[in-house]
A and B are shown apart, each in its own frame.
Chain A
Amino acid sequence: MSLIQEIDYGTPVSKAEKTVTLTIDGCDVTVPEGTSLMRAAMEAGIQVPKLCATDMMDAFGSCRLCVVEVEGRNGTPASCTTPVAPGMKVSTQTERLKAIRKGVMELYISDHPLDCLTCAANGDCELQDMAGAVGLREVRYGYEGENHLGKAKDVSNPYFQFDPSKCIVCSRCVRACNEVQGTFALTVEGRGFDSIISAGTSFDNFFSSECVSCGACVQACPTATLEEKAVVEIGTPEHSVVTTCAYCGVGCSFKAEMRGEELVRMVPYKDGKANRGHSCVKGRFALGYATHKDRVLNPMIRDHHSQPWKEVSWEEALSFTAAKIKDIQAKYGRGSVGGISSSRCTNEEVFVVQKLVRAGFGNNNIDTCARVCHSPTGYGLNSTFGTSAGTQDFDSVEDTDVILVIGANPTDGHPVFASRMKKRLRGKPGQPGAKLIVIDPRRIDLVETPHVKADYHLPLKPGTNVAMLTALAHVIVTEGLVNESFVRERCEWDEFQEWAAFVAEERHSPEAVESVTGVPADLVRKAARLYATGGNGAIYYGLGVTEHSQGSTSVIAIANLAMATGNIGRKGVGVNPLRGQNNVQGSCDMGSFPHELPGYRHISVDAVRETFEDLWGVTLDKEPGLRIPNMFDAAVEGTFKGLYCQGEDILQSDPDTKHVSAGLAALELLIVHDLFLNETANYANVFLPGSTFLEKNGTFTNAERRINRVRKVMAPKNGYEDWQVTQMLAQAIGMDMNYAHPSEIMAEIAATTPSFANVSYELLDEKGSVQWPCNEAHPEGSPIMHVDEFMRGKGKFIMTEYVATDERTGPRFPLLLTTGRILSQYNVGAQTRRTGNVVWHDQDLLEIHPHDAEQRGVRDGDWVKLESRSGSTAIMAKVTDRVAPGVVYTTFHHPMTQVNVITTDFSDWATNCPEYKVTAVQISPSNGPTEWQEDYRELTMESRRIVPAEAAE
């Protein structure tokens, strides 16, 4: 194994189709028009010395190290800023060029500390490399002159440091922050010799500035000026392995750079097709949880959750568990046990869990945490298009003219994709930026961020998405903006006509629903016109759409809009669900829903069951099993007694905590398979330690249906990869399951699931990644779906009647609470709370409009009591006009906040996806945590007691 070195071509690739042929140092090179001389040379294998250029961003031309000579032209142009021209004859190495370069390097080095031997970047420094490349042997100016040495380091960021004395002011960091990340946190201050890099204003450091710690500047820096603290501490890595981030649904590719079994750093991989070399703070830096002291590494059992835990051997834990499962099934029936698979685990692990439940437990009581986030996406897109997935790849955004974001907050939830989106919104010379429509109760960052401003922000009331989307359709139909030729050719025409007549009814007009949505009709009309007529229109949506009692209806309404305007089936358009967790798509694909076998095929279809029955040698139940909320109901009723919960903290993440805890407490067996003693484990009597993504092989499928490899870089600290743990449990209950490697599981998936037929580890290693469907019809996968026809044949328009949620405000609960997430934390925070990321978000805050705050005598930073029909909790207030009057907002990253004590058990009509996004609440001043929170803290402490295993004799 060695360190993977990616080629830096110096400038970005040109997308031009026309090519140009020229000669560089006597070699003929053919490249796309618009390519720089530097890149063309590199394509021919000739590396022109450079410092200020790198291929992640546009050339700047400041260092003058990359000069070349061009026959017939005067002077020495910079190769990074000079485009190719047909027939050019270029020389990259002449006496004149050598002298210029030496001179340039001499100046740089005279102002640079010469402590290379003790520098963290020693061996990984472009300045060092270039000094060598140009043959610099002496510095005539001496080192005594005025210089920048000895300046104080800025170590305020938890993950990287800034050492200004090593800065060569190449401005790569500034451009990375502007062009790649889009945060514009850095500037070059001062002029000429005095210029320095500054984060924020001159009073700021990196931490207090706008910096979001994405790491793009660190990556871009050619010197040790911006350097990971881990490299400073550990040293440079010696080998690396390409793997996939385990946090969000963007699915960024990283090189895990290692020294032995120690992870030194994660570096975004330029060939990663989801992230194209970019990263966010979570995937790049928040890895500390993998080695955190809280990780539980030994299996534990107890007879009842009121007792302390007892550490035991794997054999003992598994036989204890298997005996309980057997016992429960004998007493209460085959259907009294079930499992929940995790959207954080690999496809292979999820597949094995559903197999354990269906073939081993003999029922279909298998669900996944995707239930509580994106199940409506599955239902809605399947009903209209015929498949439960987004239609595009992320690259598609580069061809979009109008971006419509609804119920998603990409800069926080899907940061790397948000950076790509912002890049398209800013545009570039010759290509004006895309237009932007944001439909969200809250003024999310995207509405106004440096060099991006939404054309329309529609701040609707929580819970009125369907009314809004149908009003948009009303405008499109009644103003004659339908793409009729597309609809006639691609969709069911009769159904379209019925739908068109329905949405055209006056009661769906923006004017008629204004009182419901709270958005001025005029704004809605303008937004609809822009989406329908502005060119390629693409819709991106998130949990703000799905987590409602009409979540599935909203997804259908979105699909209707895309079909009516012909925005389906090519680059730049489409319907794109932004998935929360890394493998939400994959866990749905892998048959984690109780009514569906892998590949979204209903359990009642005989032929589908037979495929698996033949292979597994069992008879499968043809009835759908329990969904997660049904499991809690059945547990409270006493018919559901045993649950295997893989890598999910249902107690913290599911709504109506009191109902969930009552359900969990009623179980006779609760197996928690996780990295940490999570909140759910308070009620568990078996704990099976899990492994991190760094410790396993497998695949994740991101929001673009892209199957990415996860590669093991260190041995599992708990002894086993998660699929092995499930397999041992399966063996313990008598199943014949003997996979030697996850690739064998993938082979079984491919053999049984038509949309995965061609997927194999060999293909993934060869291509880097593929997007399903990947089969005979699409041998290398499908970046864009529904190109010539919909998966279901003709697109289906479905009527979307707005039904107000029954969770309404009234005199007792006059405010609407909606929930979301922030950049530095992830989901219930079990991982991110155990990393340096806590410096950005040490507790959940309640955002409240100044008007509502004043009425209640609440000031910024006060503790307030947040009360709903379900319960109450206490939380600190943040007064801000980001939220509209009447709306309050919070995140749910910290267990003590217990936001889900507040949320209700209302859920989506089609999928039972809980209605997290709307709860009627009241707020009043308070002194601190509520009684429930205090009791809960106590319970948690109690239930986490561990008695270590007795030492062997």
Chain B
Amino acid sequence: MERDKLVYMANQIAKFFESAPEGARSKGVADHINKFWEPRMRTQLFERFDAGRTSEMNPLVLEAMDAIRRPEAPQSSGAPNQGDPSLA
């Protein structure tokens, strides 16, 4: 079976913060994901979490879910941030 790359990456992060001092662990995971994961990836993580597909997730990831920012409306709804192309 293909490994679930997204969960795999979240677990990798959790592994690192497992050795962090008490109290900084799940916070470390959440901060890291908030800082570096773009909305699409966070959305996909929440999709798995919300659907209860969590058996492969490291407990620290589960603990961190509360503090991970849920992406606002997906980017595809935004209007392009540009004027009228003069050469187009």
Does A329 lie at the interface of the complex (its beta carbon under 8 Å from any beta carbon of B)? yes
Which residues in B have their C-beta under 8 angstroms from that of A633? 5
Does A615 lie at the interface of the complex (its beta carbon under 8 Å from any beta carbon of B)? no
- B52-80 contacts to A (CB < 8 Å): 71, 74-80
B24 shortest CB reach to chain A, Å: 10
Does B48 lie at the interface of the complex (its beta carbon under 8 Å from any beta carbon of A)? no
- A609-650 contacts to B (CB < 8 Å): 618-619, 621, 623-627, 630, 633-634, 639
In the complex the two chains form, is B16's CB within 8 Å of A623's CB? no
Does A549 lie at the interface of the complex (its beta carbon under 8 Å from any beta carbon of B)? yes
Q: A630-B41, A639-B40 are in contact. Are A910 and B87 (CB under 8 A)?
A: no
A802 shortest CB reach to chain B, Å: 10
Output the residue of A334, A495, A549, A625 with the most chain B CB within 10 A.
A334
Assembled-state Cα–Cα distance A333/B77 (Å): 6
Nearest chain-A residue to B86 (Cβ)?
A: A734
Does A332 lie at the interface of the complex (its beta carbon under 8 Å from any beta carbon of B)? yes
Does A522 lie at the interface of the complex (its beta carbon under 8 Å from any beta carbon of B)? no
Which residues in B have their C-beta under 8 angstroms from that of A801? 15-16, 18-19
In the complex the two chains form, is A333's CB within 8 Å of B76's CB? yes
Which residues in A have their C-beta under 8 angstroms from that of B16? 552-553, 801, 803, 909-910
Does A481 lie at the interface of the complex (its beta carbon under 8 Å from any beta carbon of B)? no
Nearest chain-A residue to B84 (Cβ)?
A: A734
A739 shortest CB reach to chain B, Å: 17
Which residues in A have their C-beta under 8 angstroms from that of B18? 801
In the complex the two chains form, is A630's CB within 8 Å of B38's CB? yes
Nearest chain-A residue to B12 (Cβ)?
A: A909
In the complex the two chains form, is A733's CB within 8 Å of B82's CB? yes
In the complex the two chains form, is B76's CB within 8 Å of A334's CB? yes
In the complex the two chains form, is A626's CB within 8 Å of B40's CB? yes
Which residues in B have their C-beta under 8 angstroms from that of A438? none
Type the 1/0 row for A306-333, where 1 means its CB is closer than 8 Å to any CB of B: 0000000001001100110010011011
Does A165 lie at the interface of the complex (its beta carbon under 8 Å from any beta carbon of B)? no
Among the listed A334, A624, A799, which residue makes an inter-chain contact with B37, where contact means beta carbons less than 8 Å apart?
A: A624
In the complex the two chains form, is B81's CB within 8 Å of A618's CB? yes
B11 shortest CB reach to chain A, Å: 9
Assembled-state Cα–Cα distance A910/B32 (Å): 8
Among the listed B20, B38, B40, B88, which residue makes an inter-chain contact with A322, where contact means beta carbons less than 8 Å apart?
A: B88
Give the size category of A's interface with B. Answer: 35 or more
Give the size category of B's interface with A. Answer: 35 or more
Q: A630-B38, A634-B40, A905-B5 are in contact. Are A735 and B82 (CB under 8 A)?
A: yes
Assembled-state Cα–Cα distance A732/B9 (Å): 38
Does B7 lie at the interface of the complex (its beta carbon under 8 Å from any beta carbon of A)? no
Which residues in B have their C-beta under 8 angstroms from that of A549? 12
In the complex the two chains form, is A732's CB within 8 Å of B82's CB? no
In the complex the two chains form, is B39's CB within 8 Å of A362's CB? no
In the complex the two chains form, is B35's CB within 8 Å of A329's CB? no
Nearest chain-A residue to B16 (Cβ)?
A: A909
In the complex the two chains form, is B81's CB within 8 Å of A732's CB? no
In the complex the two chains form, is A330's CB within 8 Å of B80's CB? yes
Does A502 lie at the interface of the complex (its beta carbon under 8 Å from any beta carbon of B)? yes
Which residues in B have their C-beta under 8 angstroms from that of A334? 75-76, 78-81
B15 shortest CB reach to chain A, Å: 5
A263 shortest CB reach to chain B, Å: 35
Does A943 lie at the interface of the complex (its beta carbon under 8 Å from any beta carbon of B)? no
Does A919 lie at the interface of the complex (its beta carbon under 8 Å from any beta carbon of B)? no
Nearest chain-B residue to A620 (Cβ)?
A: B81
In the complex the two chains form, is B15's CB within 8 Å of A333's CB? no
Assembled-state Cα–Cα distance A333/B82 (Å): 13
Does A288 lie at the interface of the complex (its beta carbon under 8 Å from any beta carbon of B)? no
Chain B interface, DSSP helix/strand/loop, else mixed:
loop
In the complex the two chains form, is A619's CB within 8 Å of B41's CB? no
Does A498 lie at the interface of the complex (its beta carbon under 8 Å from any beta carbon of B)? yes
Among the listed B21, B35, B76, B77, which residue makes an inter-chain contact with A624, where contact means beta carbons less than 8 Å apart?
A: B35
Assembled-state Cα–Cα distance A365/B15 (Å): 27
Assembled-state Cα–Cα distance A619/B79 (Å): 12
Nearest chain-B residue to A730 (Cβ)?
A: B82
In the complex the two chains form, is B86's CB within 8 Å of A731's CB? yes
Nearest chain-A residue to B79 (Cβ)?
A: A334
Does B45 lie at the interface of the complex (its beta carbon under 8 Å from any beta carbon of A)? no
In the complex the two chains form, is B88's CB within 8 Å of A359's CB? no
Does A779 lie at the interface of the complex (its beta carbon under 8 Å from any beta carbon of B)? no
Assembled-state Cα–Cα distance A318/B88 (Å): 8
Output the residue of B13, B37, B71, B88 with the most chain A CB within 10 A.
B88
Assembled-state Cα–Cα distance A330/B77 (Å): 9
Type the 1/0 row for A332-370, where 1 means its CB is closer than 8 Å to any CB of B: 111110000000000000000000000111111100000
In the complex the two chains form, is B38's CB within 8 Å of A626's CB? yes
Among the listed B9, B38, B81, which residue makes an inter-chain contact with A360, where contact means beta carbons less than 8 Å apart?
A: B81
Nearest chain-A residue to B78 (Cβ)?
A: A334
Does A465 lie at the interface of the complex (its beta carbon under 8 Å from any beta carbon of B)? no
In the complex the two chains form, is B40's CB within 8 Å of A910's CB? no
B83 shortest CB reach to chain A, Å: 4
Q: A333-B75, A801-B18 are in contact. Are A595 and B36 (CB under 8 A)?
A: yes
B52 shortest CB reach to chain A, Å: 22
Which residues in B have their C-beta under 8 angstroms from that of A360? 81-82
In the complex the two chains form, is A323's CB within 8 Å of B82's CB? no
A192 shortest CB reach to chain B, Å: 68
In the complex the two chains form, is B80's CB within 8 Å of A318's CB? no
Which residues in A have their C-beta under 8 angstroms from that of B41? 630
Assembled-state Cα–Cα distance A552/B5 (Å): 19
Does A426 lie at the interface of the complex (its beta carbon under 8 Å from any beta carbon of B)? no
A474 shortest CB reach to chain B, Å: 14
In the complex the two chains form, is B36's CB within 8 Å of A322's CB? no
Which residues in B have their C-beta under 8 angstroms from that of A731? 86-87
Assembled-state Cα–Cα distance A733/B83 (Å): 7
Which residues in A have their C-beta under 8 angstroms from that of B74? 333, 335
Among the listed A319, A361, A623, A910, which residue makes an inter-chain contact with B38, where contact means beta carbons less than 8 Å apart?
A: A623
Type the 1/0 row for B24-47, where 1 means its CB is closer than 8 Å to any CB of A: 000000001011111111000000
In the complex the two chains form, is A625's CB within 8 Å of B38's CB? yes
- Which B residues contact A (CB, under 8 angstroms)? 5, 9, 12-13, 15-16, 18-21, 32, 34-41, 71, 74-88
12 new A-B contacts, CB < 8 A, other than A322-B87, A333-B77, A623-B75, are: A323-B88, A333-B76, A334-B76, A335-B74, A336-B76, A361-B80, A595-B36, A624-B38, A627-B38, A633-B5, A734-B83, A803-B16
CB-based closest 9 A-B pairs: A333-B76, A362-B81, A335-B75, A909-B12, A734-B83, A801-B19, A799-B19, A334-B78, A329-B80
Can you pick out 10 interface pairs between chain A and chain B where the beta carbons lie within 8 Å of each other?
A335-B40, A360-B81, A364-B38, A498-B21, A623-B39, A633-B5, A801-B15, A803-B16, A909-B13, A911-B36
